[in-house]
Structure 1
Amino acid sequence: MRSAQFARLIVLVSVAVSACTVKDTDIPSLTGPSEYALSIEVTATPDHIRQDGESQSAVVVRARDANGQPVRALAIRLDMAVGPTIQDFGTLSERNVVTGNDGLAKAVYTAPPTPQGFNGSGTTMSIRATPYGTNSLTSVSHSVSIELVPPGVILPPGGAPTASFVVSPTPLSAGVAARFDASASLPGTDSSQLTYSWSFGDGSGASGVAVNHTFATVGTFSVTLTVTNDRGLTAQTMQPVSVGATALPVAVFVFSPAAPVPGKEIQFNGQGSTAPSGRRITQYLWNWGDGETGTGALQQHDYLEEGVYSVVLTVVDDIGQRGSATQPVTVKFPDAPTPTPPTAAFVFSPAEPEPDEPVLFNAGVSSPGPATRQYRWNWGDGTTTDTLEELQSHTYEEEGTYTVVLTVIDGTDPAQRDTDSKPVPVGIVTPPTP
């Protein structure tokens, strides 16, 4: 039991943080961080020590910005006060401290010795921590108490803390930040403060009630949380955390025209690409397949020569994950139109020639074909004629019916041809139609 004659000496550790004050017409001061931009947490471990001139308490000031990230290189001055008056009561290992890369500034408080013959009720004192450059008139205090107990007083036993944490989002993916929150942990009876130490099972750690961590690889990691209360009692909990493969962004692109020709610009559009949920695409990287590259969702590119080019679009999301798509782009001049083949046809007169009578053959009724045409006549009497002329004359010496064949050949490569044939009655009179 505590003696009624012994006083409780409360050491109040206060951190002054500048608040943002906006007058009606004034622009807010830029001399220091605002309460909304700077979060301060102060702990003292343990917070019950003897007033014997030797007992110590570790004072930690933790500074975080609005995003929960450590505030680095923040200079803080520590002062002791009794009541409203600044004065020394005990000692501080440092009067001026600066937060490190972890956002922490540390000092050690050593209790003063109990005055000889002391039997009073003690004194309440405070330690104030003020960031440089702040306006003390608009400061907001954060505090933690340390109880100094005169020698001979037995400290009551404290209850052990309880460690607990949750992880989000789930499932976890490699390369994606996860949030670890230990706010459900309890300090135990006769305790009001906790410090938090994290081990993520991948060789890294952190401190703080809620922290972010990114696993670089896929696997199962044993995440351990250790909490320590202001009585120096600790508790620990471990959770296995499974980290899966990170979803990749999907690259998609289209281009036009679909049949491009050399020297003409082609429009490429990669805006159809998508990032996994909660992420966004930050880069579009093009490889045109001809030694040139480009960046941006919308691009133009031309090819100087015919060929088939393999175009690759790579998209990168905001955590550095990549996805690619490849398409062949065929560049060529359009083929020449297929020429229309000729159509062979001819007429002759007289219709019923006599032997040794010249017969005039006219191939001019043939449909015209491209380039120069050649007319090849087979007269049906064992003779032929090759000519470029449409009109030809031929004489048959004997009576009979002769089958005349005309072949028309155009000037393309390869050549196209067509034939026509007709019977020619020589010396044969066709009886009149009744």
Structure 2
Amino acid sequence: MATRQRYIAFIAVLACLSACTLKKQETPSLTGPSELGTSVRLSVSPDVLSLDGASQSIVTIQTSDQNGQPLRNVSLRAEILLNGTLVDFGTLSARNIVTDANGRATVVYTAPASATNVDNFTTVQIVVTPAGSDFANATARSVSIRLVPVGIVVPPDGLKPQFSMSNGSPTDHEPVLFTACADPLNPCAPSNNPIATFSWDFGDGDHATGSTATHAFDGAGTFVVTLTITDAWGRSASGQRTMTVGAGANPTAVFTTSPSSPVPNTDIFFNAVQSRPAPGRTIVSYHWDFGDGKSADGVQVSHRYTNPGSYTVTLVVTDDAGRTASSTQQLSVSLGAPTADFTFSIAGASVSFTGTSVPATGRTIVSSAWSFGDPASGSNTSSATNPSHTFSGPAPIM
């Protein structure tokens, strides 16, 4: 029992010291005795087997003494080592072997069958140790065999989704560029398992596909952005990042009108050039509602009202981020007033007056009222359109 325990401990140490896959390992010249000076060399063919329960490799063992001469009738012990542990992963045609007259022996390893087609880069070691008078102190030799799945080899997924954002603290309506697998030092998948699809969930109900995506959030808040990567075998993994979206500034809507006292059926001019966007933004549209069922678009527009009245005029400006602002003014459209004017001519003591008054646009003068400034005459007023008047005395010098 003690000998067996020492053997297992020795094999474990051997496994820890083993590194790459070996097809053949030559034994260096011995500087001291090894099971009475026995040298053991191993080779294997083939060194790659399918995990089909039938594929085989032949392990050839050559023994010689310290002078390089073949050693016959040398007892050997063969074992299977997997991940540093003695296991029956596959089978050996024999465990206890004896060399022939040429100092040679062979053992056949048969690979096990695998229930999966995922390649986990499995390697077994066939360990051979001389078995003589001091097995516990004998020097073991090993050879490695690579085991691969049958048919299509599916690599381990190794999916580790990660992504970057062009701005981690944007404002609403501000475009953000999302880039999957942006860190070359931290790839999303191993080189032998390329990613087939990239799917984005921005946490606000919107989605996108592709290794890059641009998205703008419609409102402020906290959003969890999820990237899901899928390989060619349909295996997926997801990664998330939380981002805070701040509230952006709105534009400012301002407008003026002219003339200041408009009348019906004349052009009224509306000017929004004093409107201003938020910093970094641009106003892209100006929409007018004139309050009479009519509307227009543009920075500067004109409009005519058919009827007098008070109208609510509204300007709505929209910037390139989709943010809006509005401004409202009450506009009074009146009929306007006529312009009173006249001329006169003097014939002796009588003066003839001619009314030259002008009515408001679209209107007609229907009455006139004159006052001659001569109350002593007894007929100081007149309602005629073109009256005459005889003054009672000389007029004062103005």
TM range (shorter): 0.3 to 0.5
Q: Which has the larger radius of gyration?
A: 2
Which structure would you say has the larger RCO, counting Cα contacts within 8 Å and 6 or more residues apart? 1
Higher helix share: 2
User: What's the TM-score, normalizing by structure 2?
Assistant: 0.43
